[in-house]
Structure 1
Amino acid sequence: MTSPQTPLAQVIGDPIAQSKSPAIHEFWLEKLGIAGEYTRAHVTTEGLADYLDASNADPRWTGCNVTMPHKQAIIPLLDRLDPLAERLGAVNTVVREGEALIGYNTDAGGFLEPLRGHLQDQHYFRMARILGTGGAARAIIAALASEGFTLVVAGRNPDKARALLDELAPKGEHHAIHLDHFAAPTDFAFDDREGCLDLVVNASPLGMTGNPPLQFDWSHAPPGSIAYDIVTSPLETPFLKDARRKGHEAIHGLSMLIGQAAIAFEKFFGAPPPREYDAELVERMTA
């Protein structure tokens, strides 16, 4: 039961019915016993400014998560951007702070979260192969560059991949190539990878339900690489299944989604989410 004091957060987008964010936030509110509410709101591009005006006038509203197609369009309507959101040119979280609307980007932090155990170790060398050049790739490129990775970004348009690297990771000897490079087998002999950290990240919608599969031959990945797929449906993509068969560690897309939601949840409701229930949360979301 809600009251005039019950905090309200939302996720907005067009379309929005598919969003898993309400399931995540409501699960945490339930576990913590917090009187709060998190809902979906279908907001068109034309209605974005009106939505923010109406929400800012609601004393219950603490902020919203932002999905496509609003991550760039919402920026001119905000009072201030967090430095990372400004650097990425994309906002996925809006928080009301006093009378101001502040834009954040939690995608980069959410992406890195399941890698923290590896990142706390020292490595001689870190390399990531990032497959895709869309909106999600922006946060991933910036996040991994900040952690000292040498990046290989592959896309249908290598010029776009190069432009992303020049914008978001101008330091370092990074590489841009065509996505087809990874489709065919290779007999490349990898050097000793002891003490190195290698990632292969699917930052594209390939492999998602209704989309073609991602063509990646695992001969392009050194032994001990980590496969990371940001696709959330299906949870176990062909890309991850192939990686496991080759003996690689695999990270599914809900890891990033839950990680970025955790950052937003604390901003919306003033308490860290109970992460000890992550396995139960994933089970509920995939039931």
Structure 2
Amino acid sequence: MQIITGKAKIAAVLGWPIEHSRSPLLHNFWLQRHQIDGAYIPLAVKAEDFKDVIQTMKAAGFKGCNVTIPHKEAAYQCCDIVDETAKKMGSVNTLWFTEDGKICGTSTDGDGFVANLRDAGITLTNKKILILGAGGAARSVAYSLLQENAQITITNRTLERAEQLVQDLNSGRVIDWQSWTKELGSFDLLVNTTSLGMEGKEDFQFDLQNASKNLVVTDIVYVPRITPLLKAAEQKGLKTVEGLGMLLHQARLGFSKWFGVDPIVDHELTEFVANSLKK
């Protein structure tokens, strides 16, 4: 059993609600693996209390935190220093506190998404990619794909949001939600960034009959681990990449900042977190 002392390094994840978060599982797994004197805890924080909690954590000696719904934009506003990725997102999911009292932030979701694809052997340069959705997750994914010199197309049930995202990114094109299945044959990668297909959410109605045999399909949803979209793609014989790896990879930078070790994502960690999804 890992024992922590008065010198322990402490980090947290803040959200409202927070019960669903798997971040404590994976970070404490890494702490145990590397025998680090530290802990990572979940904190349920209401929106109106968020800024006060961040200041209290900093004063109490926390190393930093992750933030999830609904705090990512508020966390951005709390930062003294943000990188170019965070500026483009207008939100952050990872904060760390410097010794001179500064709050630093970044968004690691997009990099986690790309790292997950790399693990699966997927190359992105010059690939034609269709992104379903135009929310915060789509913004992170699209921005990181553009850094890989991929060609992106956005489709969303509300067309105006897709058009705004393309305008903000100054790259890509938009197609109508009703027509994306008809155009699948022209894409190398299909990415679902919406909540469609997530356990407890509305059903996902789609048709993959026009997909090319080389299309790769990935979903950032990881509950269920094999979403309806991934299941349909597998039945058609297409290569798929599940979303759990994105969750694991996006956590690495924060862990490194807080605890001083760059952890790895491997089969043991993946299965440990995946088993929790079944409970």
Q: TM-score, normalised by structure 2?
A: 0.91
Q: Which residue of the other structure, out of 238, 247, 250, is the alignment partner of 1:257?
A: 247
Q: Which residue of the other structure, out of 7, 17, 25, is the alignment partner of 2:19?
A: 17
Q: Which residue of the other structure, out of 237, 249, 264, is the alignment partner of 1:247?
A: 237
CA-CA distance at 1:239 after TM superposition: 0.5
CA-CA distance at 1:265 after TM superposition: 1.2
CA contact (8 A) 1:71 1:91 kept: yes
Q: What is the SS of the residue equivalent to 1:74? A: helix
Give the match for residue 275 of structure 2. 284
Give the match for residue 44 of structure 1. 46
Q: What's the CA shift string for 1:148-205, capped at 9, x where partnerless?
A: 222121111112101101112x14xx2212323235xx4x7947xxxxx811011000
CA-CA distance at 1:120 after TM superposition: 7.8
What is the CA–CA distance in structure 1 between the aligned matches of 2:73 and 2:270, rounded to whole Å?
A: 33
- Note closer, same or farther for the CA distance 1:129–1:190 as it changes in structure 2 (3 Å cut): closer
Q: What is the SS of the residue equivalent to 1:217? A: coil
CA-CA distance at 1:223 after TM superposition: 1.8
- Note closer, same or farther for the CA distance 1:100–1:8 as it changes in structure 2 (3 Å cut): same
1:108-187 equivalences in 2 (<5 Å): 108-116=110-118, 125-168=126-169, 170-171=170-171, 174-182=172-180, 186=182
CA-CA distance at 1:118 after TM superposition: 7.1
- What amino acid maps onto 2:263 in structure 1? P
CA-CA distance at 1:266 after TM superposition: 1.1
CA-CA distance at 1:21 after TM superposition: 0.5
1:8 equivalent to 2:10? Answer: yes
Structure 2 portions without partners, runs of 5+: none
- What amino acid maps onto 1:248 in structure 2? L
Structure 1 portions without partners, runs of 5+: 192-196
What is the CA–CA distance in structure 1 between the aligned matches of 2:64 and 2:109, rounded to whole Å?
A: 16
CA contact (8 A) 2:25 2:273 kept: no
More moved, 225-234 vs 112-121: 112-121
Give the match for residue 194 of structure 1. none
What is the CA–CA distance in structure 2 between the aligned matches of 1:224 and 1:24, rounded to whole Å?
A: 33
What is the CA–CA distance in structure 1 between the aligned matches of 2:124 and 2:233, rounded to whole Å?
A: 24
- What amino acid maps onto 2:177 in structure 1? L
CA-CA distance at 1:116 after TM superposition: 2.0
- What amino acid maps onto 1:23 in structure 2? L
What is the CA–CA distance in structure 1 between the aligned matches of 2:213 and 2:269, rounded to whole Å?
A: 29
- What amino acid maps onto 1:178 in structure 2? D
Q: What is the SS of the residue equivalent to 1:46? A: helix
Total equivalences in the alignment: 274
Aligned-residue CA RMSD (Å): 2.1
Q: What is the SS of the residue equivalent to 2:194? A: coil
- Note closer, same or farther for the CA distance 1:74–1:54 as it changes in structure 2 (3 Å cut): same
% identity of equivalent residues? 34
Give the match for residue 89 of structure 2. 88
CA contact (8 A) 2:223 2:277 kept: no
What is the CA–CA distance in structure 2 between the aligned matches of 1:278 and 1:127, rounded to whole Å?
A: 31
What is the CA–CA distance in structure 2 between the aligned matches of 1:110 and 1:219, rounded to whole Å?
A: 29
- Note closer, same or farther for the CA distance 1:284–1:229 as it changes in structure 2 (3 Å cut): same
1:103 equivalent to 2:105? Answer: yes
CA contact (8 A) 1:11 1:40 kept: yes
1:27 equivalent to 2:29? Answer: yes
What is the CA–CA distance in structure 2 between the aligned matches of 1:137 and 1:216, rounded to whole Å?
A: 19
Give the match for residue 63 of structure 2. 62
- What amino acid maps onto 2:233 in structure 1? A
Q: Which residue of the other structure, out of 201, 208, 215, is the alignment partner of 1:218?
A: 208
Q: What is the SS of the residue equivalent to 2:118? A: helix
- Note closer, same or farther for the CA distance 1:220–1:129 as it changes in structure 2 (3 Å cut): farther
What is the CA–CA distance in structure 2 between the aligned matches of 1:205 and 1:179, rounded to whole Å?
A: 15
- Note closer, same or farther for the CA distance 1:122–1:43 as it changes in structure 2 (3 Å cut): closer
More moved, 218-227 vs 97-106: 218-227
